[in-house]
Structure 1
Amino acid sequence: METEPQLIEQYIKTGTVKLVYRHLVQLGDRSLRLAEASECAADQGKFWPMRQAIYARYNQILFDTEQELAAAAADADVDLAQLNACLDAATHRAAVRADHDAATAEGIRSRPVFRLGERTLIGAQPFTVFQDLIAQASGS
């Protein structure tokens, strides 16, 4: 099992840990569009399903962004007309850019990055690493 679903189930759903997601626009206009799309999906209550659908199609989406974005929206049960209207209006562009600027101001240049208390983890980590750090932070 991947680490993220385990973290969500054991720590986030129980309220032990809070997950904060920041957009990091690393690949120019495509990254910006995908970040905006996930925020537009959030307007429909579908941020996490859309994010998951985008990442599942990551390799394809870089080559045919619009077609794959539409497919990701379908996978996430996001209304495509609403999504496109939101994207066309650039509804979330300023917020996405602000996320990116805040992340880079903190020295974040790639993802994933995790902050647990005073510790920063860079890159994918096994679930046990998170378990140990969360236990240390909570004094268990």
Structure 2
Amino acid sequence: MKPLIVAEYVESGAVRFEYRDYAFRGPQAVRAAEAAACAADQNGYWRYHDTLFLNQGGANSFTDPRLKQMAETLGLDTGAFNSCLDGGEKLEQVQQSIAAAQAAGIDSTPTLFVGSDEVDAWQDWNAVKQAIDDALAQA
């Protein structure tokens, strides 16, 4: 859905796409969100995010060595990435994102909002497009 929203609305400047991590499946999910935030420091957030989703495994699949290997595979500066991850530089940011999601009543992912309105049919491009168009018409 993100590529469609970006192509149709973000690239033209009509809307802003905002993505927030909601790591609610345990400590390794939090650690993976931290790693993605560290990748963002090198403009690698979306590549790292997509790599995480393509390489999901069972419990304990996002160990630090595996997260660091993903960064290396993506060609990130591993010194900077490892320092960021090892130093816990993004933990507070991730915890704040989790707290904000919980405060908003979000209990599953993905959850899509247009403005302050949740779009229940987030998998239906026509429903998402209609919600965005309606919001733009009211702006």
| TM-score (norm: length of structure 1) | 0.85
Seen in structure 2, the aligned counterparts of structure 1 residues 76 and 122 have a Cα distance that, compared at 3 Å, is farther
- Return the alpha-carbon distance in structure 2 between the equivalents of residues 137 and 113 of structure 1: 17
Give deviations 1:47-75, integer Å, cap 9, x for gaps.
11111111111237853534542343244
1:135 to 130, 133, 136: 133
Displacement after TM superposition at 1:79 (Å):
2.0
Structure 1 segments of 4+ aligned residues over 4 angstroms from their partners = none
Give deviations 1:66-103, integer Å, cap 9, x for gaps.
45423432443322222111111100101110110011
Partner of 1:39: 37
Pick which of 13-22 and 88-97 moved more.
13-22
Amino acid at match of 1:128: N
Give deviations 1:10-63, integer Å, cap 9, x for gaps.
112222221212221212110111110011111111111111111111237853
- Return the alpha-carbon distance in structure 1 between the equivalents of residues 35 and 121 of structure 2: 24
Say what the alpha-carbon RMSD is for the aligned residues. Answer: 2.2
Amino acid at match of 2:51: A
Say yes or no: does 1:48 pair with 2:50. no
- Return the alpha-carbon distance in structure 2 between the equivalents of residues 90 and 61 of structure 1: 21
Partner of 1:94: 92
Work out the percentage of aligned pairs sharing the same amino acid: 27
CA contact (8 A) 2:112 2:122 kept: no
- Structure 2 portions without partners, runs of 5+: none
- Structure 1 portions without partners, runs of 5+: none
1:58 to 42, 56, 72: 56
Pick which of 35-44 and 117-126 moved more.
117-126
| TM-score (norm: length of structure 2) | 0.85
Seen in structure 2, the aligned counterparts of structure 1 residues 32 and 13 have a Cα distance that, compared at 3 Å, is same
Q: How many residues align?
A: 138
Seen in structure 2, the aligned counterparts of structure 1 residues 19 and 36 have a Cα distance that, compared at 3 Å, is same
